Structure 1
Amino acid sequence: MDIHEYQAKEILANFGVGVPPGALAYSPEQAAYRARELGGEAWVVKAQVHAGGRGKAGGVKVCNSDQEIYAASEGMFGQKLVTHQTGPEGKGVYRVYVEASVGIAREIYLGLVLDRSSQRVMIVASAEGGMEIEEISANEPDSIVRAIVEPAVGLQEFQVREIAFQLGMDPAVTQHMVRTLQGCYRAFTELDATMVEINPLVVTVDNRVLALDAKMTFDDNALFRHPQVAELRDKSQEDPRESRAGDRGLNYVGLEGNIGCIVNGAGLAMATMDTIKLAGGEPANFLDIGGGATPDRVAKAFRLVMSDSNVQAVLVNIFAGINRCDWVAEGVVQALRETRVDVPVIVRLSGTNVEEGKKILAKSGLPIIRANTLSEAAERAVDAWRNDVAQGTQVRAVS
């Protein structure tokens, strides 16, 4: 789960990380008022969306008066901010963050991520702050500093000092860096985060270390332990299909293809998508219905897949171990009778109670295309999609 910049800064500030004074606004009038509350002579207005690259897309504006703040925020509210991370559809702007401007002496990139190979938290830093980490890796690979944190002892002060030395930081600000990095690490571990990114982390002209921007991502599976974090979720920034799936206990990722997938098990779902690609098709989604594929759960999965207007065929691929094929078959029949599904449906069942499942599909009288293997199911799904599209084109041509 991602959160907004202002939320991440509030969390990090509670762990001792320095942040500039700022306030949230939901209208241009409120944004101008927030600036007067903060005081000063210059402010930064930032669109709050779950995406990087806001500055290049016009989502970050430096302002020197109330009028400039009003105009900048008015140009953001209600608009779609399109960055390299949002895709062409963009993200809606419904709130802005007004922050006091600070004098910057230098910028640094700082990130904490889970390193899967070492199964540890890795600190990634670079003296080239202000750029995306992908740009830094491509343009300044030698500037990247990495350090692994041993979980038995946590982040040690000497490690932070080594990082600061490698970044060429002034010894006068090293202790500020220690407090900042140890605060980030505690926030990461105590709140079950999967990423903390500060870009840029700045050293000010008066030798303070401040997080000028902040991003945090949390492990969805651990949110039950942190209700205060779960409350920060903003569904307006999420794919509505993925939000609906999450609310129903389904693992769903929307893609840009046209063959919907309903599969049990993440590994089998990946294999199904690969096989569809090999057969010449494009998967429309990743959908893992999990181990308890009851009829009602399968029906929910169908309704979710069919909510995507790009779907032109549905492939159901179930290998029943914990599941039962007869339950899945009942779910497919229930979904087709309750939900309008006007595209070809291909079903491949294997495992527990597979014969009973096949009988349920056969007796239903519904136009279900059955397959015995995954490759056969993928080929039939692609063929059915192509035939359906061709027939639709012919109908439109005749009409």
Structure 2
Amino acid sequence: MGCSTCSSGGCSTPAGCKNNGSCLTDGGCSKLDVYDWLADMALPSEFEPFNIVEVRFKGARKDFYRNTNNTYVEAGELVVVESATGGYDVGHVTLTGELVRLQMKRKNIPASPDLKRLLRKASETDVKKWEQLKSQEYDTLHRARKIIDHLGLSMKLSDVDYQGDRTKATFYYTADERVDFRELIRKLAEAFRVRIEMRQIGMRQEASRLGGIGSCGRELCCSTWLTNFKSVSTAAARYQNLSLNTLKLAGQCGKLKCCLNYELDTYMDALNEFPDHVTSIETQRGPAILQKTDIFKKLMWFSYSSAENWIPVEVSKVNEILERNRRGERPADLQEVPSEPTVKKIPGYENVVGQDSLTRLDDKDGNRRKKKRPGKNRRNRPPRKA
């Protein structure tokens, strides 16, 4: 079952997920979905199942809860769990069984008795109240932004998340400097009559929650499938011979794009064969200056100061010339790399009548009409000879 704003609900029209992977309907479009590869494994008859489940909430928030009542739940079901600050919250079950034990071990979370409890499955009343709170978050966000503008605080409010019982509202914001929001909390508590929690997030986390379209034309990686953020430096752009233009290298969050790291390892492996810190090589004709490097074709392009043509040289030949330069030898000239022979493609059919020509119906004369010569009317033509 999918949400109404994505293509996972059975409709043939792929509209794209407008909830940025946080629709919480377990339709397979959420970036927090985990494949339970232990679901089909039969446990021993005397084996006691693991009584801790993983629950997912809005955004990238997940937590583990102890199922003390041994309530049978499956992945994707709405459940009511205890809140860390009192009351209860509503979320979707993502994992059950032995895979939860492995997840907790991977995240170094002990299975202590201090874990909050899973209370029950969400009833129809809980679901209606939860959906009503989600519909109020948009208006709450805009009202809070007006209060921030009135107070003149240098902060940007990104998102708001209501707790399942509407006793607490968490506001997510970004700011460049430290913000004194004590007056803001008082104003928000008076306006919404709930307990307020302010949580500062980074620029990348903000882009992940809001979503958008990147310069590649696709949805942002951080809002669709990327769950962790690794540091990106300008060295990644240098290794890939990219232009150091901050407008092209920065993403929607204002930081360097995460995709700069995707192919970095491939470039690093390919650069192992290239010589380090080479700007020119010495020949008898003169110094040849390095102009460009083609990493995957393993070519280095050189040019002389008096010539405009660039000469492609293989990396192995460049290393050989550099070794000769260290011994005090200079080659006569750089030899151009022979171009690859072009292979003529033979079509799999034979054009007999020329019906595959797209311009066969065009008037080659440019729609020019022939002028009639005077005295050549049809009536004055001489009769044909037999």
The two structures have a TM-score, normalised by structure 2, of: 0.29
- The structure, 1 or 2, with the larger RCO (C-alpha pairs under 8 Å, 6+ apart) is 1
Q: Is the strand fraction higher in 1 or 2?
A: 1
State which structure, 1 or 2, has the greater radius of gyration over its C-alpha atoms. 2
